Structure 1
Amino acid sequence: MELSSLLSHHARYRPHATAVVFGQQRLDYRDFNARVDRVAHLLLGLGVKKTGRVATLLPNTLELLETYWACARIGAVAVPLSPLLTGVGLSSLINDAGAVCLVTQNSLLPVVEAVLPRLSTLAPPRILLIDGDQPPWGSYAALAAAAPEDEPPAAGVTGDDLINIMYTSGTTGLPKGIMHSHRVRAMYALLLGAAWRMTPESVVLHSGAIVFNGAFVTLMPAFHLGATYILLRQFDAAEMLATIAREKVTHIMVVPAQIIALLDSPDFDPAKLASLQMILSLGAPLPQPRKDQLNQLLPGRFHELYGLTEGFLTILDRTDAVKKAGSVGCPPPFSEVRIVDEQGRDLPPGQAGEIVGRGPFVMQGYWGKPQLTAEALRDGWIFSGDIGYLDDEGYLYLVDRKKDMIDSGGVKVYPRDIEEIAARHPAIAEVAVFGIPHETWGETPVAAVVLRVGAGATADELRDWINERVAARYQRVQTVIIKPEFPRNAAGKTLKRDMREPYWAGRASRI
């Protein structure tokens, strides 16, 4: 069950198949496996042992990818941290994980130096820089170059051993370290590769941050099957479209904001994207008008995944994307979903309640937080904190997050209902609805929007247009806020709480 054996397998039996493409670097499986072996020896040389936590503070780099696999090879635990973290946010996560090693780069060294006095488990030279040699900091490149290429001694890894601690993105509160085992990641590889119809000939492109758990839904299947994995430094619509056309990419995974950017790019040309077999949307609901647009321009490719890093998911398959429009699909094999009320009782089809699920992706728990684990994981079921309902055929439909729900005069207002209406306006590229204080009703909805390039609509015009089309008076937005862009986390998710929080300053905040 030791996952890096996948690389060893392909290095032996398909050594010249292309494994990784990053920038100008193209590595076959033999070369990539050798790099992973050297990094594994590097970590062992620093005293990293089985179960030791190795933190990374990096954007997308080849070194980040090979560190993941090197940790797996020696039984260490990779702890990916967002390069956007600073100050207490960074030091608290490093300390919480008990990291014994940190891999970062020169441009982020000032951030690390600023928190170094607060780090209880880390000190140079176990802080490695991938792009420099500055004593007392360790040089990743120099140490890796000096390390042997032979496979390190077997670490005795079992399926229950941890491979990752994934800290939640923090869109709804303080991050928690989610523990995933080698077995769980193996299930990502086996079950999701089948869901995406991947083969050894697939070409998988990823442009989002691989510190985000969603990256593993295509990363693990690609390396399990020995496919080609293309990693971009960051998302750029024009670069992504050009790469798809040039490399004949077959599989992509993107968040809704990226899909919108691709569709609105002047470089978007369906004819040049004919190689695509799968377009997977995850991370947040994609507005239905954009789904319709994608299914019209590139039919038969769209999949949508609803899931939690904690370990439950549903998949809207490409064969259901049109006939089950609005749904986020059904659980994959060996998984189950239920809708329950406040007392945990099952609700009938069509009735909204909390989404709970279980299956082979479920976490071991939150690192060092048994009480929070017990609240989220009950008898093997993950309680999501999301509101949804099932139709008569068992397909899941999202309503909203519990924490995003607006309580206006005792009436539950679900922002997503309003967002679906607003997204239909031709001037609106993106929309986020949230509640702000209201003297009479307690809360009232407002809509923040990002306009399409060249659109000239005013905030009042947009407010009136939305309010003429919502289903109920309590769904009317008080105002529309036009923003140049939305705040996002490393995964590309919109941070509603960052936009909502200023309005609640000095009040009993609901965040």
Structure 2
Amino acid sequence: MKLRSLQRHLASVRRMHLGPSQRGLRARLELVAEKSLGVGTFLWHTLDRAEDLDAPLLHHLPRGGGEKDVRVFTLGDLRDATERYARWYHAAGVVRGDRVGIQSEDGIANFVHFLAVNSLGAIPAPVNPNMAPDTAARYLARLEPRVVVADSGRLTALLEAAESPGALGLTVTQEEIDAAGPAGPLPTGYPYRHGDRDPVLIAHSSGTTGMPKAPVLGHRQFFTGKRPRILTMPSGPQDKNLLTFPPSHGSGLSYMMMATLTGVPTLVMEEQRGPAVAEAMRWWKPTVVIGFPITFGELATLGLEPSAAAHVTTWLATADASHEAHIRELVRLGRHREGGKWRQGSRYIDGLASTEVGMAVFQNIHGPDTEAYQRCVGYPEPVVEEATVFDEHGKRLGPHEIGYIGVKSPTETLGYWADADLTHRSKNDGFWLTGDIGYYDEKGRFYQYDRATDVIQTVNGPVHSLPTEEIVLKACRRAVDCTVVGAVSPADPELSEPIGVIRMQENCDDTAEHLLSQINAALRKAGMHQLSALVVCKGENDIPLGVTGKVLKREVRSAYAKILVADDDLRLDVARVRSVRGELGQLPPAGTTAGGKPGAAA
């Protein structure tokens, strides 16, 4: 009895310093050292080491809700919900290797489905709730699912869009599963014991180039980059996470896993827009804010009160690299420890990520006084074994030569579902090609200049859109977002000229003519190719975004392809969104082709 009393006393002391849900250093070290730890086993290993299963852990904020609408989930709640869903799936005939499609807006439900399906050895395939029904139905049908679960309205839309009645397998609403009582026993051997290469997730890509791809992520592969973060993620006694990733996205699931492993209280939001996130920050008072660059861009430009960010020490972004103008605004806010005292300014961890590699593969850490910008995405993550750049013929390039970025990493996808050809074409010399155009310098830092599909081929040579967007956003401080694409060139219909589509704050009265003149002056000063037209918009949906928050440049290109060659009547239609043609006269040299040297005009 004395030993048990002492253990309880020590546990209570540890909780005084950490908080009831947080894992102490010993527990986290044990988790890191556990050889069988992976995506399919992390919940059960965490349950074994948790001291309080009833402590608040995940806090779910529904779309449109406020502080009073938050639902709290403990580790015990996650275990019980996982087992309840697993019983339902087992009764429905789901077995090892089956695919289960999920399309729900409920953030925690996505996570519980993910846990439950994996606990049976089946493969979850969550779909972003914003994906169009016809796209989602075709995407899921390719996976030949055993079951598809969706919110009632979404399931109706999916079934109407499906090519045949049985294309989606057994279909059931989220509401039916939630309302169901106990559904029989768990299978023998529950939970399923995963092998290293067992699939644990089919994660769809953003769909920026068309139908979303379906990379398969594995038990050990998807977890490899997360293991060290159990020790490095901020997890002090005052830390609180605010998670704004779509909970159906691989990144959202990853950081809910990290919250479970570390025990850091985490607010899981269904909404990713800046104003909603700013409002949640006022009462949640997070120390770490996690999201896509589009969310941080809106926070930076739509007016985040310094008091709402007063406790923030870390902004953690992933997917595309973030824009300098937005980073600089955010690192001025928040606080950091220096000399034992809190001082003004926070850090911004910018991660260039790839769904196919299961995590950020490059990382650049910014602070109030750092200067590593110019589209610098930093050094490869420690888990990346090697990163390089290739030309169009697959030859390795040297420092400052622009080409196709490739990485060699144990976190690489197991391949695209049922598409061996696409998997093969995505590799070169043992490297996974991320789809990014860029280069590296003598220090080994990498720079992202474009996506391979977005390079603009002009009469003067190729122009890379991302460095151009950086200049646009720095020249227009009231811009919320900007995208640069190619439009058909009046000089040659086989070539393009760069145009900009810019979203300004709603209270901005600058004309398109004034903004274009201001932008092109900044581009000339930087020695870069000028824009030939500018489209100004103020609505949050006027620049089309994919389901993961990335700009759909293919749709922007399609919408404004003829803006430079249209006759007056068509030009008048475009003028309703306040577009204006720029000068096509003497232009500085454009950027370089893959294998060339980056210059000021790149």
| TM > 0.5 fold call | yes
Whether contact under 8 Å (2:137, 2:168) holds in the other structure is: no
Give the match for residue 212 of structure 1.
249
Please report how far the alpha carbon of residue 147 of structure 1 lies from its aligned counterpart in structure 2 after TM superposition.
5.3
Whether contact under 8 Å (1:169, 1:489) holds in the other structure is: yes
Give the match for residue 153 of structure 1.
190
CA 1:48–1:320: 2 relative to 1, 3 Å = farther
Whether contact under 8 Å (1:95, 1:120) holds in the other structure is: no
Q: Once structures 1 and 2 are overlaid, which stretch shifts more, 446-455 or 480-489?
A: 480-489
Give 3-state SS (helix, strand or coil) of 1:31's partner. Answer: helix
CA distance in structure 2 between the partners assigned to 1:501 and 1:36 by the alignment: 44
Whether contact under 8 Å (1:427, 1:456) holds in the other structure is: no
Give the match for residue 136 of structure 1.
none
Aligned counterparts, 1:315-330, within 5 A: 315-318=363-366, 322-326=370-374, 327-330=376-379
Give 3-state SS (helix, strand or coil) of 1:329's partner. Answer: strand
Give 3-state SS (helix, strand or coil) of 1:297's partner. Answer: coil
The answer to whether structure 1 residue 61 and structure 2 residue 115 are counterparts is: no
Q: How many residues align?
A: 495
Corresponding residue to 2:138 among 87, 92, 105 = 92
The answer to whether structure 1 residue 272 and structure 2 residue 308 are counterparts is: yes
CA distance in structure 2 between the partners assigned to 1:155 and 1:216 by the alignment: 19
Q: Once structures 1 and 2 are overlaid, which stretch shifts more, 249-258 or 432-441?
A: 249-258
Corresponding residue to 1:6 among 42, 46, 53 = 42
CA distance in structure 2 between the partners assigned to 1:202 and 1:42 by the alignment: 36
Deviation per CA, 1:29-75: give whole Å up to 9, x if none: 11211111111111111101011101011224322121011112111
Give 3-state SS (helix, strand or coil) of 2:281's partner. Answer: helix
Q: Once structures 1 and 2 are overlaid, which stretch shifts more, 8-17 or 284-293?
A: 8-17
Corresponding residue to 2:480 among 429, 434, 447 = 429
CA 1:200–1:190: 2 relative to 1, 3 Å = farther
Give 3-state SS (helix, strand or coil) of 2:307's partner. Answer: helix
CA distance in structure 2 between the partners assigned to 1:210 and 1:22 by the alignment: 10
Whether contact under 8 Å (2:487, 2:498) holds in the other structure is: yes
Corresponding residue to 1:281 among 317, 320, 340 = 317
Corresponding residue to 1:493 among 539, 546, 550 = 550
Please report how far the alpha carbon of residue 156 of structure 1 lies from its aligned counterpart in structure 2 after TM superposition.
3.0
CA 1:151–1:258: 2 relative to 1, 3 Å = farther
Whether contact under 8 Å (2:199, 2:216) holds in the other structure is: yes
Give the match for residue 305 of structure 1.
351
Aligned counterparts, 1:338-357, within 5 A: 338-357=388-407
State percent identity of aligned pairs: 21
Q: Once structures 1 and 2 are overlaid, which stretch shifts more, 367-376 or 385-394?
A: 385-394
CA distance in structure 1 between the partners assigned to 2:131 and 2:399 by the alignment: 42
Give the match for residue 394 of structure 1.
444
Give the match for residue 55 of structure 2.
17
Q: Once structures 1 and 2 are overlaid, which stretch shifts more, 112-121 or 459-468?
A: 112-121
Aligned counterparts, 1:430-445, within 5 A: 430-441=481-492, 442-445=495-498
Give the match for residue 456 of structure 1.
509
Q: Once structures 1 and 2 are overlaid, which stretch shifts more, 188-197 or 169-178?
A: 188-197
Please report how far the alpha carbon of residue 191 of structure 1 lies from its aligned counterpart in structure 2 after TM superposition.
3.4
Whether contact under 8 Å (2:469, 2:483) holds in the other structure is: yes
Q: Once structures 1 and 2 are overlaid, which stretch shifts more, 145-154 or 368-377?
A: 145-154
CA 1:265–1:449: 2 relative to 1, 3 Å = closer
Please report how far the alpha carbon of residue 373 of structure 1 lies from its aligned counterpart in structure 2 after TM superposition.
0.5
Please report how far the alpha carbon of residue 104 of structure 1 lies from its aligned counterpart in structure 2 after TM superposition.
0.5
Corresponding residue to 1:409 among 450, 459, 462 = 459
CA 1:150–1:173: 2 relative to 1, 3 Å = closer
State the superposition RMSD in angstroms: 2.5
TM-score normalised by structure 2 residue count: 0.77
Task: Give 1 or 2 for the bigger CA radius of gyration.
Answer: 2
Give 3-state SS (helix, strand or coil) of 1:271's partner. Answer: helix
Deviation per CA, 1:330-361: give whole Å up to 9, x if none: 11223121122223222222222211102121
CA distance in structure 1 between the partners assigned to 2:237 and 2:197 by the alignment: 27
Give the match for residue 226 of structure 2.
189
Deviation per CA, 1:412-465: give whole Å up to 9, x if none: 111122211110213322111100101314211110011113111111111111
Structure 1 residue identity aligned to 2:395? R
CA distance in structure 2 between the partners assigned to 1:199 and 1:183 by the alignment: 27
Give the gaps of 5 or more residues in structure 1: 132-138, 506-511
Give the match for residue 280 of structure 2.
243
Q: Once structures 1 and 2 are overlaid, which stretch shifts more, 175-184 or 206-215?
A: 206-215
Give the match for residue 240 of structure 2.
203
Whether contact under 8 Å (1:260, 1:290) holds in the other structure is: yes
CA distance in structure 2 between the partners assigned to 1:333 and 1:253 by the alignment: 20
Q: Once structures 1 and 2 are overlaid, which stretch shifts more, 144-153 or 72-81?
A: 144-153
Please report how far the alpha carbon of residue 171 of structure 1 lies from its aligned counterpart in structure 2 after TM superposition.
0.4
Whether contact under 8 Å (1:54, 1:78) holds in the other structure is: yes
Structure 1 residue identity aligned to 2:173? L
Give 3-state SS (helix, strand or coil) of 1:156's partner. Answer: coil
Give 3-state SS (helix, strand or coil) of 1:423's partner. Answer: helix
Give the match for residue 376 of structure 1.
426
Give the gaps of 5 or more residues in structure 2: 1-35, 62-69, 335-344, 563-602
Give the match for residue 363 of structure 1.
413
CA distance in structure 2 between the partners assigned to 1:276 and 1:73 by the alignment: 35
The answer to whether structure 1 residue 34 and structure 2 residue 80 are counterparts is: yes
Please report how far the alpha carbon of residue 177 of structure 1 lies from its aligned counterpart in structure 2 after TM superposition.
0.7
CA 1:153–1:199: 2 relative to 1, 3 Å = farther
Structure 1 residue identity aligned to 2:491? T
TM-score normalised by structure 1 residue count: 0.90
CA distance in structure 2 between the partners assigned to 1:198 and 1:348 by the alignment: 40
CA 1:59–1:228: 2 relative to 1, 3 Å = same
CA distance in structure 2 between the partners assigned to 1:284 and 1:378 by the alignment: 22
Give 3-state SS (helix, strand or coil) of 2:46's partner. Answer: helix
Whether contact under 8 Å (2:316, 2:349) holds in the other structure is: yes
CA 1:387–1:176: 2 relative to 1, 3 Å = same
Q: Once structures 1 and 2 are overlaid, which stretch shifts more, 456-465 or 18-27?
A: 18-27
CA distance in structure 2 between the partners assigned to 1:409 and 1:218 by the alignment: 45
Deviation per CA, 1:216-269: give whole Å up to 9, x if none: 452332222233332112124344234334334232222222112222344x22
Aligned counterparts, 1:22-171, within 5 A: 22-23=60-61, 24-116=70-162, 118=164, 120-123=166-169, 126-131=170-175, 139-143=176-180, 145-146=182-183, 153-171=190-208
Give 3-state SS (helix, strand or coil) of 1:54's partner. Answer: strand
CA 1:145–1:201: 2 relative to 1, 3 Å = farther
CA distance in structure 2 between the partners assigned to 1:200 and 1:297 by the alignment: 21
Give 3-state SS (helix, strand or coil) of 2:481's partner. Answer: strand
